[in-house]
Structure 1
Amino acid sequence: MQVYTMRRCLALTLLLAAASGLQHSAVLDPDGDLVIHWTPEEDSNSIVIRVEARTRGWAAVGFSPNGAMTGADIVMGWVDGTAHAQDMHAVGNSAPLLDDSDDVELLEGSENSTHTVFTFRRPLRSCDTEHDLSLGMDTTRLIWALHESDPTPGRGPSYHGTRRGVRSVSLDGSGVFRFPAPGESESFVFGNSEVALPEAVTYYHCSLKKLPDLRDKVHYTGYRVKLDPATAPYVHHFVLYSCTIPAHMHDQFDEYARSHPGSECYSKNMPPRWSFCESVGVAWAVGGEGDMLPDHVGMPLGHEHGGSTYFMLESHFDNPHKHTGLKDSSGIEMFFTRSLRPVEAGILSVGHSVTSTQLIPPGQKNFITASVCAGTCTEKHLPIEGVQIHSVLLHAHLAGRTLNLRHVRNGRELPSVAHDWTYDFNFQQSRIMSQKVRILPGDTLLLDCGYNTEDRTNVTMGGFATRNEMCLAFLTYYPRTHLHGCGSYPHVGHYLKDLGVRAVEVTGLELPPVSGGDVWTVGGFKYKADGANQLMALKNETEDEENIGSATNASAEGSRDDWFNKAQLSTMKVSVEGSPTVTLYEYLTQMSWGQPAVDALQAQVNGGQVFHRCQNDKLVLQSDYREEHAGPFSYPEFEPLVAEATACPQGRTSGAAGRHSLLSLVSLTVVTTASRLLL
């Protein structure tokens, strides 16, 4: 259970950081053989890193774009009476090479009977753009290796063997939170209880939870994930949705929380009324630990205090090898305080609505899908002084490589709210915003997600399965407003037209693709609102409710991983010249994705027309779809941001023209005591 062991090691990082005198720490391997401590120094464009390795030989840490050796930016150190450090890079699975430009400043080094320790400084953004990686908010994949012997002059280091590994971290410290020590805060747990995982690659389990009796108003202050050691490697994410329901449904939700065992999410077995639980309260994904609010900020709990009493816990399990006999009891520990805080926070989900019409062709190195949180939505719901962003969790699935939450005001793009140019599906941690980021009424947010599908032979669709894709950002902000969701859908009719579709069939009508796409999309919005109206009218759980649920959750036959796509895309049929009429799902999965088709789709999903979605939490399922959905609209026009180049000293090289052989000891940086070297 390496995942669980690592998580237990992470609990030590705050103590380790304090002992080192640096701000942050991470245990890079389960046995604790290599620990790093670091402090980013943004004002001086540098970072100080201390490496503590259980070896009397060499130790190396590397900053890798993808977790592999190739392209990694490496620092190797050892002590043989004097301390040594080298700035290096890897061109393959072989010994790393020296950089022509030495950007590593060795500060100190020492060795005892068990450990080698060295501390160095390097730029966050180096002028050696060929071999040094920029460090900051983006996910950094730290590769590491150890050996019991020092390097041999003229020959270099011995092969590390199995003493190596990789760990993703956020080196700017934005993903590091201080959680309450035992007894320091009151808390309760929303979790699973021996939930049996089916023999399926992807499984979503939903269960209804009720707030414990807290007597008085309290403020939620943060959460920490609690993983079951038996199933930790299979837990991909949790989303805790708050339920906004009318008073006459409280008794029924009490019964759900008391006796309903939970069910597969969004299936015919899930009570339809659970669809009133749609406002995100907590979002956690694999690799993260949790999130804590600032000391002056809290969230109310309990409907009588402006919060929620009922919650739906969505648990996503990823079981690629379909292991059997698994039962999960993981959950989320919710911290709260009875000392009410002066400011209340909210959570806003931004991005591409989870829909099968999010399409990514196969064989793509960097395919971009874009979504819009419209200025009309922020204008309607945000206070005149705007809101402050505290933290952001970026979320995509296996094909995700880059996410960039862009910020536009008055027709001009501002610096990104958050970005991750080296996204890691297995490291999804909330990031605290180090800079003051404020969203004002009328501001537009754009979430761009880049995907790599070079290993896939068929189209990837949006959806819930791990092999489906998502493009979402969860923003914790304050002060709290009623806005909780702001995103968009692509206009399916426009890209079908550009893909060569002659006509579409919707509800028995044959229409041109653009107008057919309008009818199909708006009809889906209206259908959902009509279902909400029927549920609202019911006073008790009845056979009628079961019928509504069966109709709402009806899906086409298929595996657990594709039912969502088939259910959505089988309600439209398409006609292409010279081919029989087929469902939209069949058309998209059977078509040949040549470059013209890829280019046409790219133009539509990154700059084409979209439908806006603007959700408030007064009543999550609106009685009229037009209160939540609007469009189609053109992609917003604005003046894009021009990135500032890193200022480099005159005469510095931007990369090595040639490559040196490893460890010619005359080129080593040698330090006998802590010292500073001019770069």
Structure 2
Amino acid sequence: MRIKFSMSQNVIHVDSELWRFREQVDSTETLRNRLGQAIRFTLGFCLVIGGISLPHVSGWEREAILDPLGKVHLAWTPHLETKVIEFEYTVQTLGWVGLGFSPTGGMRDSDVITAWIKDGRVFFDDRHVPVDHELPRVDDVPNYNLISAVETDTATIIRFTREFDTCDLEQDFHITGDTVKVIYAYGDTDPEGMDPFYHGSDNRGTKSLYLLDPPLGDIPDDPSIKEWIVSSEMVIPTLDTTYWCTIQKTPVVDVTHHIIGYKPYVKPGNEKYVHHLLLYACSIPDELVDVFNSWAEHDGVLCYGPDHPQEWNHCRSVLIAWAVGGEGETYPENVGYVLPEGGMFFMMEMHYDNPEGVSGIQDDSGLTVYYTDVLRPLEMATLGVGSSLHPASITPGRQSHFMNVGLCNFKCTEIAFPPEGIHIFSGFLHSHLLGESLREFPNHSPLVNMAPSENSTEIHYLNTGRRMRVRLFRNGEELPWLQNDNNYDFDYQQVRVFREHITLYPGDQLIMECDYDSSNRDSVTVSGFGTTEEMDGGYEYMVSEDQTLVDYLNEFDWSGVDMEGFQHLMRYDPHYTRCFNNQGELLPWNQTTSYPGGVDSWMPPGRECPSGK
């Protein structure tokens, strides 16, 4: 299609009717008939990737295996009251070990500790790396407190604490609720002197973690819990990006059950090809049951292509979203998603990346979904917030910051939310490779999983960004952000469990902000399905028979454009918003939406560091 441009004062004006934002919520009648709702809130897309089974470490709140071979293990507990985090670092070596926190995943500007035990003496140092390719320097002031250091027959175990914020602004890393890139390294022997030697290419790595989040929870060891394997055997196409959709039918159950969680499975060796997975619940009329049964036996089709049946649009409500780095999810013990008597249908959407066009890759990646006939007090639903794919979502190249937003109008929440509100218990942010920042806002279209309870809610966000944030406005005031990540990692997309549930009320407005970084791209980026595109749009938009929209925009002379004015227009110009229920029916409100005017922006508290530090 062709995009209309009008030039005025060196600002490109994109016609506002090209903007389309979708709000998908549970039907008004269903919402209002439920007394308390536990919500999973989803912005954009929901995705997850397979994880490693971890040994149980008694007494620690969180744990993770950091390396592919399972030799490097980290356990930790954040103490929120004292703002101190305690670690136990175990490495299968009798040599030196190192652990650090990095803004990028590399050594430069990282904050690290090194330790080893030699001849009964413990060597433990707080270090930093101010420049590339340099031995970590010992800090001027040590801010890590060694508790114990032990060697077993095969491993070195170091236990230590540090404050979230040591206020050492030059040499230490500030641990926040953002994604933290944890780096590790080790040697096979002890150093001869006071410094560790080079670790080599194999004994080091990085893993992104949420250090301050609560645990994801475990599937209970209960004989009433059953497993449903969701997968589709196929050969990954030799295309750069493929979205493959299949209809999946649950086991037939003779009484109502509750789905209580899931774990992802990625076929070993296919990790580089499997990008994300979505499982949409289907709400279909009785007359379509037979044809959906036949589709459940079918191999699937390219999503949203010419062979994608229109009836599959009845599958709109995201139950499970999994992406690169995700480890699955266990719902709160009082919350379940209804699996009705007789079972139901889902549509599974798989996103594959195969930029090298490798042929013959067999794949059966998918999910293990857990369900039980022991019903829980609360029923969960999903609220999704995000912008639809549309060619008007344009990010010019060579921009270090370019904000893309999605707006959920207060009129939509007035219609969809019950008077007592809905309660969010977890959230999920999703982006492709461009974005830099994302935040969730009560003014943007959401996909939500709900359960009738005051204390259970999960919120998932789908969008694209390196920094992401969702903002909440109520009664002319901005409240604390629903979710924020200033260090979003494309390779670590995991559901985030909230320590305290968040209640949203009718009339709340949500705004989702993604801060894109296109500084390493000459080309413009339009919204799209591809990994190198952004999720706000994504088809092969044609300007003419032999020219795509991207080609057309790349030929445009952007040097004469007032980029600040263009950004202001794309962010603050009215956006057309639409509210849908889970049956794909428009709710009775659709208008343009803008940022609320005359409202002071909420900002998190600043760092509490003494002057001079």
Structure 1 residues 184 and 25: alpha-carbon distance in aligned structure 2, compared to 1, 3 A threshold: farther
Displacement of 1:394: 0.3
Residues 191 and 164 (structure 1 numbering): CA distance in 2 closer, same or farther, change over 3 Å?
Answer: same
State which of 312, 318, 323 in structure 2 corresponds to 1:285.
323
Query: Is residue 45–residue 124 contact of structure 1 (8 Å, CA) maintained in 2?
Result: yes
The AA in structure 2 aligned to 1:145 is A
One of 187, 210, 217 as aligned partner of 1:170: 210
Question: Any gaps of 5 or more consecutive residues in structure 2?
Answer: 1-48, 436-465
CA shift in 2, pair 1:243/1:113, >3 Å: closer
Taking the TM superposition and a 5 Å limit, the aligned residue runs for 1:22-37 are 22-37=60-75
In the alignment, is the contact (CA less than 8 A) between 1:110 and 1:117 conserved in 2? yes
* Residue 133 of structure 1 pairs with residue 183 of structure 2: no
Aligned counterpart, 1:323? 358
2:199 counterpart of 1:239: no
Residues 452-503 of structure 1 deviation map (CA, whole Å, 9 limit, x = unaligned): 22221111111111111126xxxxxxxxxxxxxxxxx9xxxxxxxxxxxxxx
TM-superposed deviation, 1:175: 5.9
Name the residue aligned to 1:11: 53
Match of 1:84 in 2: 123
Q: CA deviation at 1:251?
A: 2.0
2:407/2:594 contact within 8 Å kept: no
**Are the counterparts in 2 of residues 137 and 174 from structure 1 also a CA contact under 8 Å?**
no
> Given that residues 84 and 106 in structure 1 are in contact (C-alpha distance below 8 angstroms), is that contact kept between their aligned partners in structure 2?
no
Tell me which residue corresponds to 2:474: 409
Check 1:647–1:329 CA distance in 2 against 1; reply closer, same or farther (3 A cut).
same
Distance 2:53 2:188 in 1: 28
* Residue matched to 1:642: 603
CA distance change for structure 1 residues 589 and 425 in 2, over 3 Å: closer, same or farther?
A: same
- Matches of 2:472 and 2:590 in 1, distance apart? 21
Aligned residue for 2:81, secondary structure, equals helix
Aligned to 1:150: 190
Amino acid at match of 2:418: P
* Equivalent position SS for 1:43: coil
Greater RCO between the two (CA within 8 Å, min separation 6)? 2
Q: CA deviation at 1:44?
A: 0.7
In the alignment, what sits opposite 1:256? 295
Q: CA 1:51–1:583 in 2, change beyond 3 Å: closer, same or farther? A: closer
- Post-superposition shift, 1:51? 1.0
Identity %: 33
Change (3 A) 1:206 1:128: same
1:602 to 544, 564, 567: 567
Describe the shift of the 1:583–1:600 C-alpha distance in structure 2 as closer, same or farther (beyond 3 A).
farther
Would you say 1:391 and 2:391 are equivalent positions? no
CA offsets per residue over residues 430-466 of structure 1, 9 Å max, x none?
Answer: 0101123111111112111122222211111111111
The residue matched to 2:124 in structure 1 has which SS?
Answer: strand
**2:594 is equivalent to residue 611 of structure 1:** no
Q: Secondary structure at the match of 1:333?
A: strand
Shift of 1:621: 4.2
Paired residue for 1:75, among 108, 113, 122?
113
Report the alpha carbon displacement of residue 396 of structure 1 after superposing the two structures with TM.
Answer: 0.4
* 1:361 CA displacement: 1.3
Shift of 1:111: 2.1
| Contact 1:362/1:593 (<8 A) preserved | no
Deviation at 1:152, TM superposition (A): 4.6
Partner of 2:262: 223
Select 2:344's aligned residue among 309, 315, 339. Answer: 309
Q: For the structure 1 residues 595 and 76, does the alpha-carbon distance in structure 2 shift closer, same or farther, using more than 3 Å as the test?
A: farther
Structure 1, gaps ≥5 residues long: 1-5, 472-488, 490-561, 572-581, 655-679
Q: Is the 8 A contact 2:281 2:318 kept in 1?
A: yes
Maintained 8 Å contact 2:412/2:589: no
- Name the aligned partner's letter for residue 598 of structure 1: M
Picking from 375, 382, 390, the partner of 1:340 is: 375
CA gap 1:100/1:385 in 2 versus in 1, 3 angstroms: farther
In the alignment, residue 584 of structure 2 is paired with which amino acid? V
- Cα distance per residue 1:624-645 (max 9 Å; x no partner): xxx4772323322322113212
CA distance in 1, matches of 2:82, 2:224: 36
The SS at the match of 2:160 is: strand
For the residue of structure 2 that corresponds to 1:350, the secondary structure is: strand
Inter-CA distance 182–361: structure 2 relative to 1 (3 Å threshold): farther
Q: Contact 1:461/1:565 (CA < 8 Å) preserved in 2?
A: no
**Where in structure 2 are the equivalents of 1:449-464 lying within 5 Å?**
449-464=514-529
Distance 1:188 1:604 in 2: 47
- C-alpha spacing 1:362/1:124, structure 2 compared with 1 (3 Å): same
Q: Does 1:119 align with 2:154?
A: no
Query: What's the Cα RMSD here?
Result: 2.5
Query: Could you give the per-residue CA deviations for residues 393-447 of structure 1, whole angstroms, max 9, x where no partner exists?
Result: 1000011211111222222222221121111111100010112311111111211
CA contact (8 A) 2:432 2:535 kept: yes
How many Å separate the matches in 1 of 2:320 and 2:208? 22
Distance 2:215 2:403 in 1: 25
SS of equivalent residue, structure 1 residue 606: helix
Task: State the aligned residue count.
Answer: 531
2: CA distance, partners of 1:588 / 1:596: 13
Cα separation, 2, equivalents of 1:237 and 1:225: 10
Distance 1:395 1:632, change over 3 A: same
8 Å contact from structure 1 (residues 145, 160) kept in 2:
yes
Give the Cα separation in 2 of the matches to 1:113 and 1:231.
Answer: 35
Deviation string 1:63-103 (CA, Å, 9 cap, x unpaired) is: 11111111212122222323332222212222112333422
Q: Secondary structure at the match of 1:251?
A: helix
Length-normalised TM-score, structure 2: 0.82
Structure 1 residue 227, shift from structure 2 partner: 2.0
**Equivalent position of 1:566 in the other structure:** 541
1:192 aligns with 2:227: no
Task: Sort the Cα spacing of 1:265 and 1:635 in 2 relative to 1 into closer, same or farther, 3 A.
Answer: same
Letter in 2 for 1:368: M
Equivalents in 2 of 1:447, 1:378: separation in Å? 15
SS at match of 2:521: coil
Partner SS state of residue 70, structure 2? coil
| Pairing 1:528-543 to 2, within 5 Å after superposition | none
Q: For the structure 1 residues 117 and 230, does the alpha-carbon distance in structure 2 shift closer, same or farther, using more than 3 Å as the test?
A: closer
Distance 1:179 1:141 in 2: 27
CA distance in 2, matches of 1:35, 1:105: 19
Q: Residue 501 of structure 2: SS of its match in structure 1?
A: coil
TM-score (norm 1): 0.74
Amino acid of the structure 2 residue aligned with 1:392: G
Residue 384 of structure 1, CA deviation: 1.5
**Deviations along 1:120-178, whole A, 9 cap, x unmatched?**
11112331233322324321111111113434546x22111121111112112446331
Q: 1:179 to 1:138 in 2, by over 3 A?
A: farther
Distance in structure 2 (CA, Å) of the matches to 1:171 and 1:354:
33
* C-alpha deviation, 1:283, in angstroms: 0.8
Greater Rg over alpha carbons, structure: 1
Query: SS of the counterpart of 2:567?
Result: helix
For 1:549-588, list aligned pairs within 5 A: 564-566=539-541, 586-588=551-553
Q: Which residue type is aligned with residue 311 of structure 1?
A: F
Structure 2 counterpart SS, 1:603: helix
Aligned to 2:558, the other structure's residue is in SS state coil
CA deviation map 1:545-571 (0-9, x unaligned): xxxxxxxxxxxxxxxxx7x1415x779
Aligned to 1:632: 592
Q: Which residue of 2 aligns with 1:375?
A: 410
Map of 1:491-506 to 2, 5 A cutoff? none
Preserved contact between residue 63 and residue 143 of structure 1 (Cα < 8 Å):
yes
